[in-house]
Amino acid sequence: MANPVVRAPRSIWRASGVTEGERAIPEETAIAFTFNTATYAVMMATPQDLEDFAVGFSLTEGVIPSIDAIDSIDVVEEEAGIELRIWLKAREAVEFLGRRRKMAGPTGCGLCGVESLTEAMRPPPMVGDGRAYSPDEIMAAVESLFPLQTLNHETRAVHAAGFYEPGRGLVALREDVGRHNALDKLAGALAREGSTARQGLIVLTSRVSIEMVQKAAMIGAPVVAAVSAPTALAVRMADAAGMTLIAIARKDGFEVFTHPHRVKGRIASHVA
């Protein structure tokens, strides 16, 4: 399987002169999703955690209702990329083939290839109540993400999605050149471990767009916290899903955009 990191030769130009060297950069590979031999999507992604990607993408795109619908997964490396052959059980295969569509997207493209405006704006499922978090717990969740981003430490070019549970800390983290892909891989990792997103919070290193909210809602996440800002549409979508959307999370605080009832208490220092 392709290495997720490549060392590329490059010239380094500085005021002091030019030197030669190498830089670690992330690999980007075409990943094809097929369900019972029917082509569904081709995404550009980092070639690691591919079984997680297969399961998570299937769940967040609504192809399957649960991981139990999958019979097996084959990861097949080909000259042009990697094919994820997902074999659905008989009933789910019949349902899938009846509504199959094709799509192709660049890195992390969450809406590329949808067939209508209605499909792109599909309402998210309502998330459950979940639990409330103190500001300190939210800050701890955000801060716990960065030390474990091993691929980003090496390349400085990938996103991460993590899942945090109070009392357990960061229980899962996945990285990818595409932010949507990182979230899909996280969703798959949780499902394969028999966990759900209902009793913790999802932490993202990226901005929050509508697709990120839709995918998080599909796995029942009541709280999403991101280091960057949300789009206006993402805020409206999170509000409609009953999701608490926290963004612009930094070392000194964060901003809550929707359903603030899940944030309780005071932060250690005042945030202007």
44, 144: one domain: no
pLDDT band at 85, cuts 50/70/90? very high
Predicted pLDDT at 269: 57
Q: What is the mean pLDDT of residues 170-191?
A: 98
Predicted pLDDT at 267: 72
- Comparing 272 with 186, the larger pLDDT belongs to 186
Predicted pLDDT at 272: 46
7 belongs to a structural domain: no
Residue (of 178, 146, 181, 177) closest to 164 by Cα position? 146
49, 159: one domain: no
**Angle between the 179-192 and 210-218 helix axes, to the nearest 10 degrees?**
10
- Comparing 24 with 100, the larger pLDDT belongs to 24
174, 68: one domain: no
1 belongs to a structural domain: no
Residue 112 designated active-site: no
pLDDT band at 1, cuts 50/70/90? confident
| pLDDT > 90 fraction of the chain, expressed in percent and rounded | 83
Given the residues 6, 109, 157, 267, the one annotated as active site: 109
pLDDT at residue 114 tops 80: no
For 93, 199, 261, the CA distances from 100, given in Å and listed in that order, are 10, 32, 39
Predicted pLDDT at 109: 61
Predicted pLDDT at 271: 47
182, 96: one domain: no
Residue finishing a domain among 97, 120, 143: 120
11 belongs to a structural domain: no
149, 237: one domain: yes
70 belongs to a structural domain: yes
- Comparing 124 with 260, the larger pLDDT belongs to 260
Quote the mean pLDDT of the chain: 92
79, 151: one domain: no
Predicted pLDDT at 110: 57
73, 142: one domain: no
Predicted pLDDT at 101: 55
| pLDDT tens digit sequence for 216-242 | 999 999 999 999 999 999 999 999 999
CATH number where 173 lies = 3.40.140.10
Answer yes or no: are the C-beta atoms of 212 and 203 closer than 8 Å: no
157, 225: one domain: yes
pLDDT at residue 107 tops 90: no
CA 143 vs. chain centroid, Å, equals 18
Mean pLDDT is lowest, of 68-77, 115-124, 161-170, 230-239, for 115-124
112, 37: one domain: yes
Q: Name the residue range of residue 139's domain.
A: 135-262
Predicted pLDDT at 82: 97
Residue (of 1, 49, 77, 4) closest to 187 by Cα position? 49
CA atoms of 171 and 208, how far apart (whole Å)? 21
pLDDT at residue 102 tops 70: no
pLDDT at residue 104 tops 90: no
10 belongs to a structural domain: no
Residue finishing a domain among 87, 120, 153: 120
177 belongs to a structural domain: yes
Answer yes or no: are the C-beta atoms of 255 and 247 closer than 8 Å: yes
Which residues fall within 8 angstroms of residue 16, CB to CB, at 6 or more apart? none
Look at the chain and report how many structural domains it folds into: 2
